[in-house]
Amino acid sequence: MLLASLNPAAVAAGADLDDAIRIDGVSLSRSDLVGAATSVAERVAGAARVAVLAWPTASTVLALAGCLIAGVPAVPVPADVGAAERRHILTDSGAQAWLGEQPDDSEGLGHIPVRLHARSWHRYAEPPADAPALIIYTSGTTGPPKGVVVSRRAIAADIDMLAQAWEWTADDTLVHGLPLYHVHGLVLGLLGSLRIGNRFIHTGKPKPAAYAEAVAEQGGTLLFGVPTVWSRIVDDGDAARALSAARLLVSGSAPLPVPVFDGLARLSGHQPVERYGSTESLITLSTLAAGERRAGWVGLPLTGVRTRLVDESGEEIAHDGETIGRLHVQSPTLFDGYLNRPDATAEVLAADGWYRTGDVAVIDDGGMHRIVGRESVDLIKTGGFRVGAGEIETVLLGHPGVAEAAVIGAPDDDLGQKIVAFVVGDAAPDELADYVAQQLSVHKRPRTVRVVDSLPRNAMGKVLKKELVQWV
């Protein structure tokens, strides 16, 4: 059963929690979740797909749980998405109605309300494991967003693999303030909690004080955040120290800067767990609760996952901790394809089951992975050298005059690409270029350093490097 903690028989036998879910000022017991989500299931049963406007509310939780109980694929729609992108998601997905909350412009779709106090105790048979559970749309950085079809089997496998890696149990209280339309906040945070049976607290906005309060006053043990969240917590100081009572801090969705890793370790006493994945693969790599955690490295393959590095010709390359290659993944958590896009699916999902992630990485002789970045923007070919942007960013972030850094390769007639660094801070550009040359090889020295007020980021904190290329 995908949502194992919502087993009606177990709840009836006493496996209830008065506050299994706390979100947007509402607390739901496990019996509330079973009864209200089953009521939602009765209203949507038989639908092909429904759209869920994914505000962090109790209505959204029940809408998503109700779809999974009924076996109806849900299409989480970002609550703050623009009208054109929302229209594309609805049209491409074929969603038949809004379930729960709806936007001011419903795009002509009908509306199925979610009633928090409605209850049903109808028993639904568990849908087939290979049935689609979610259609999650990509961020659309390389074109219109694509609908990633994720099966029930993939979600269950990923949660179970992470439970093993993070020693995650029903005794935990999971805390985060992330969106409920991406893998991190939705699949790991919410659906993970509904499968494992731990308490789940959504803080609303991911403010440092809210995380600190959730640990100090509500017993938070397992905390999820993106690097921007952790950076703000480190800057707060008091909030970081308040996290000492937690069990595990988990960072993902973007690279965690080494100074933030070090700051969390110093102030909270916890080295954060870092992990790696994508919408298409879910989470496939992670450092372990009981293993080594190394700043800048995202860990080992989870149980059942295989990885390889290949060069431009497809030949496998050395796992020496230095040689950069294209990262391919085999995993029981892989997606079933892009909705309506067999061409795009074939480009990344090979017939032999290997998923071409589009990321470049290095692997050391112990199997630890470091993600260099996206092949399209983070692998810089300059003067005959292959340089990873992330390595330069890490060095720049170690300079006391740099708060944020992003490095790209810009077209250059002589070098092929030249290294360009964008930094937020008060250090002089020439000083930073020389600093990199002193710490790394001379050929990794940025040819241009631009000091900017801020870096363009998406909702998950990832720097939009394709936008930075346009700034050059």
Q: How many CA atoms lie within 13 A of 406 on its CB side?
A: 24
- Pair 110, 103: CB distance under 8 Å: no
* pLDDT value at residue 89: 94
* pLDDT value at residue 80: 82
Helix or strand holding residue 209 (H, E): helix 208-218
Q: Which of 302, 293, 215, 222 is nearest to 258 (CA)?
A: 293
Of the pLDDT bands very low, low, confident and very high (cuts 50, 70, 90), residue 385 is confident
Q: What is the mean pLDDT of the chain?
A: 92
Alpha helices (H) along 46-116: 58-70, 83-93
Judge whether residue 310 has pLDDT over 60: yes
Q: Which of 186, 64, 138, 75 is nearest to 338 (CA)?
A: 138
* pLDDT value at residue 442: 84
> 136-143: long-range contacts (C-beta < 8 A, 24 or more apart)?
136/76, 136/181, 136/182, 136/183, 136/186, 136/279, 137/75, 137/77, 137/89, 137/93, 138/279, 139/458, 139/460, 139/462, 140/85, 141/458, 141/464, 141/466, 142/376, 142/466
Q: Which CATH superfamily is domain 383-471 in?
A: ANL, C-terminal domain (3.30.300.30)
Question: Could you tell me the residue ranges of all domains in the chain?
Answer: 4-204, 272-374, 383-471
Q: What is the mean pLDDT of residues 61-88?
A: 93
Pick the CATH number of 272-374 from 3.40.50.10490, 2.60.40.10, 2.30.38.10, 3.40.50.10860: 2.30.38.10
The model's pLDDT over 80-135, given as tens digits with 9 standing for 90+, comes to 888 888 999 999 999 999 999 988 888 889 999 999 999 999 999 999 999 999 99
* pLDDT value at residue 373: 83
Of the pLDDT bands very low, low, confident and very high (cuts 50, 70, 90), residue 142 is low
Does domain 4-204 fall under CATH 2.40.30.110? My reply is no
Distance CA 333, CA 231 (A): 30
Distance CA 402, CA 231 (A): 13
How many helices (H) and strands (E) would you count in the chain? 15, 24
- The least confident of 316-330, 340-354, 431-445 is 431-445
Torsion over CA: 225, 226, 227, 233 (sign)? negative
How many CB atoms within 10 Å of residue 331? 25
